[in-house]
């Protein structure tokens, strides 16, 4: 659940630069979706690392 919440909180900060760089709606949307998938993978690894260090 934490990973999903952190991903949704991070998406606006990734979408805005992508939109400003590409200036194209469709390419921007594709890159934003791919970036959000990558961000979810980042948060997944981050929280897994934290969980391993707690034990």
- List, for residues 19-38, the tens digit of each pLDDT value: 899 998 899 899 999 999 99
pLDDT at position 55 over 90:
no
Identify the pLDDT of residue 2. 85
Contacts of 18 (CB under 8 A, 6+ apart): 28, 31, 32, 35
Do 5 and 47 contact (CB within 8 A), yes or no? no
């Amino acid at each position: 659940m934490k990973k999903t919440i952190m991903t949704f909180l991070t998406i606006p900060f990734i979408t805005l630069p992508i939109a400003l760089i590409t200036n194209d709606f469709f390419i921007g949307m594709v890159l934003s979706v791919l970036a959000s998938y990558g961000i979810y993978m980042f948060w997944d690894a981050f929280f897994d690392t934290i969980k391993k260090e707690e034990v």
